[in-house]
Structure 1
Amino acid sequence: MTIHANPGPIGIPGEPWGPREKSEWRSRQQVQRSYADEVVAAIDRLRDRFDVQQYGVLDHGHDGRYPLFAVRSRGWDDALPVMLVTGGVHGYETSGVQGALQFLDQRAVEYAGRANLLVVPCVSPWGYERIQRWNADAIDPNRSFRVDSPVRESAALMQLVAPLRDRVLMHIDLHETTDSDESEFRPALAARDGKPFEPGGIPDGFYLVDDSVHPQPAFQHAVIDAVAAVTHIAPADDNGDIIGSPVVAPGVIRYPLASLGLCAGITGARYTTTTEVYPDSPAATPAQCNAAQVAAVCAAIAFALSHAG
């Protein structure tokens, strides 16, 4: 989804934003779609097949109150491995949310009696409604999964997962990389932090982020192979990189997930990955992007189950 930058700069170039600048930024963020209609209603339609848990609520005053929901396997069995699926950590990344919901509706039943599923389709509902990467405090939730996190969205998810942390076998976090990353969000990040904006590029296609501390190349390869049947895989740039990181296998880069405070690093899971779909490609439709996320989730679970011993 292409997002147009808000008109006019905020703050003084070269100086980090303070409370006044952040308040001005927040005032510019307008509701563009409905979390209640597009996410909560879809979760409600799953209640006859899954257990739905409200694990928190975000009260943003005049901007509204947002209940946070997780969807669990019915008949949870502590003897089975736990598979964690998260979406919407960055609210503007549509297929992360809709892909998680589509997986629940169309494919999750296949794993009944084989795995416990815990799916959080939309971690950041305020951002979902405003098609925004940051939360209402102009902070990136996906750099904020830390002890005593100042980001309520991140802290709530960590609290939900904490009792299961050591039992999660696989965690897949569903994201997108959009053209608006370059046109809007990276310039906004530079302005917020009082730094110069350094132009970059957007990968044309799907890719994954593995954990550089505990890499699982065969797991990543299995996910890439499954997604390649649905949409194209991002090639490396002329430097052999994707978004500034070396490509270690087709469509795969690595980050130290936990130390960067990334969502995919919140558990002790053996198998972790972050998906990145490219929805602005002329070769990809919204339906393909959602299907790519579903394919990634299914491949991740299948690999984890087959290597659970």
Structure 2
Amino acid sequence: MNTVPTPYPIGTPGVPWGEVERADWLSRQNRRRSYESEVMSVIDSLRFRFDIEEYGRLDYGLDRYPMMAIRSGDWDDNLPIILVTGGVHGYETSGVYGALQFVDQHAAAYSGRVNLLVAPCVSPWAYERIHRWNPNAADPNRSFHDSLSPEESAEESAALMRLVAPIRDRVLMHIDLHETTDTDETEFRPALAARDGKAFEPGMIPDGFYLVDDSENPQPDFQQAVIEAVEQVTHIAPADSKGEIIGSPIAARGVILYPLKQLGLCASITSAPYRTTTEVYPDSPSATPEQCNRAQVVAVCAAIDYALAHR
């Protein structure tokens, strides 16, 4: 998808936002779906099979959200730990639904083999508004830095880091479930440029599934095992004419590399030897919402299977 840049409706081009612009932006964000009925209700239905934990609570004025995690009911400290996160960007729907569907449909198959910790919707305020940011116009998936002060960090990120802190050095595999959407190019990247007082440079949204590996600790065989499993249910994003996906050179088919820790990405919050970020394209004419959810589930299962076989 190619776009032609138009001036963002908030702020002055070239000037970073101040409090007035952020307040203007926030006033335009409306609730469009329900975290309680669409996410919490599913989590509640799993209580008799798993341990459910409230690991934080977001308090944004009149909006209050419990932050929920799902744990193996038969947690055994002798077993490896698997971390699954979704909804770090609340608008990336299949990340949330994929995490929940994995727990409901497949988690039991790993009972007695791993300890599962799943945070299916890290950003519930953004989930309801189908947005990338939290109400402070902060991107949680750039806020996973130990060095950030409470004022600098997104609370969504800080709460998840507190949850994971006791086990961060014991996690075998962490998979973070995301999407790349057309609105990345039409809304979210233009908003980011406007917020930071920078010029928006149009790009192209890849059509298909891809993964983001860690440039500081690449695991190409692990990434390819996930790609090969997912392509059984949906198509893999091809490189563009520059040999890139989303502006990054491909490391292998369907895989790019980011410095996860440097960027403060969610996939950097543990010392897991196996880490990946999924990216599904829900706006593709060749994929349905069900396929996108299924791709996330298959990616989780393939990632766990590989990690267990190669630990």
Q: Which residue of 1 aligns with 2:292?
A: 289
CA displacement, residues 39-59 of structure 1 (integer Å, 9 cap, x when unaligned) = 100000000100000001000
3-state DSSP class of the match of 1:175? strand
Structure 1 counterpart of 2:73? 74
The aligned counterpart of 1:140 is 139
- Aligned partner of 2:236 among 228, 233, 238: 233
- Distance in structure 2 (CA, Å) of the matches to 1:231 and 1:176: 14
User: 2:174 is matched with which residue: 164, 171, 185?
Assistant: 171
2:211 alignment partner, SS class: strand
TM-superposed CA distance for 1:14, in Å, is: 1.2
Q: Distance in 1 between matches of 2:193 and 2:263?
A: 18
TM-score normalised over the length of structure 1: 0.96
Find the counterpart in structure 1 of residue 4 from structure 2. none
Q: Does 1:121 align with 2:120?
A: yes
1:241-283 superposed Cα distances (whole Å, 9 cap, x missing partner): 0011110110000011011100000000000000000000011
In the alignment of these two chains, the number of paired residues is 301
> Which residue of 2 is the match for residue 39 of structure 1?
39
Aligned equivalent of 1:27: 27
Question: Per-residue deviation at 1:75?
Answer: 1.2
The AA in structure 1 aligned to 2:219 is: Q
Give 1:182's aligned residue: 185
Contact kept? 2:8, 2:191, Cα under 8 Å: no
Partner of 2:251: 248
The answer to whether the aligner puts 1:50 opposite 2:53 as a matched pair is: no
The worse-fitting range, judged by mean Cα deviation, of 293-302 and 13-22 is: 13-22
Q: Deviations over 1:12-34 (max 9, x none)?
A: 11110001110110110000000
The residue type paired with residue 302 of structure 2 is A
Counterpart Cα distance in 1 of 2:45 and 2:19? 40
1:11, CA displacement in angstroms? Answer: 1.3
CA distance, structure 2, for counterparts of residue 212 and residue 222 of structure 1: 18
What CA distance in whole angstroms lies between the structure 1 residues aligned with 2:27 and 2:159? 24
Q: Which runs of at least 4 in structure 1 moved beyond 6 Å after TM superposition?
A: none
Q: Distance in 2 between matches of 1:151 and 1:196?
A: 24
- Please state how far the C-alpha of 1:284 moved relative to its aligned partner: 0.4
| Cα shift at 1:8 | 6.8
2:8–2:190 contact (8 Å) kept in structure 1: no
SS at match of 1:180: helix
Deviations, residues 144-164 of structure 1 (Å, cap 9, x unaligned): 001235210000000000000
Provide the rounded CA distance (Å) in 1 between the counterparts of 2:83 and 2:212.
16
Q: CA deviation digits over 1:148-194, x for unaligned, max 9?
A: 35210000000000000010000000000000000111111111111
| Residues 190-205 of structure 1: pairs in structure 2 closer than 5 A | 190-205=193-208
- The equivalent residue for 2:60 is 60
Amino acid at match of 2:208: G
- How far apart, CA to CA, are the structure 2 residues paired with 1:257 and 1:287? 29
Counterparts of 2:18 and 2:309 in 1: how far apart (Å)? 50
Structure 1 residue 223, shift from structure 2 partner: 0.3
Contact residue 169 and residue 270 of structure 2 kept, 8 A: yes
Name the amino acid aligned to 1:183. T
Counterpart residue type for residue 200 of structure 1: G
Identify which of 284, 307, 310 aligns with 1:307.
Answer: 310
Residue aligned with 1:96, SS:
helix
For residues 224-248 of structure 1, what are the alpha-carbon distances to aligned partners after superposition, in whole Å with 9 as ceiling and x for unaligned? 0010001000000000000111101
1:36 alignment partner AA: E
Single out whichever of 273-282 and 9-18 deviates more from structure 2: 9-18
**What amino acid maps onto 1:102 in structure 2?**
Q
**Matching of residues 103-122 of structure 1 within 5 Å:** 103-122=102-121
Match of 2:101 in 1: 102
Give the distance between the partners of 2:88 and 2:144, measured in 1 at CA.
11
Runs of at least 5 residues in structure 1 that lack an aligned partner in the other structure: 1-6
Task: Evaluate the alpha carbon distance shift between residue 44 and residue 34 of structure 1 in structure 2; reply closer, same or farther with a 3 A threshold.
Answer: same
Q: Which amino acid aligns with 2:253?
A: P
Distance in 1 separating the partners of 2:196 and 2:110: 44
Match of 2:271 in 1: 268
What CA distance in whole angstroms lies between the structure 1 residues aligned with 2:51 and 2:166? 17
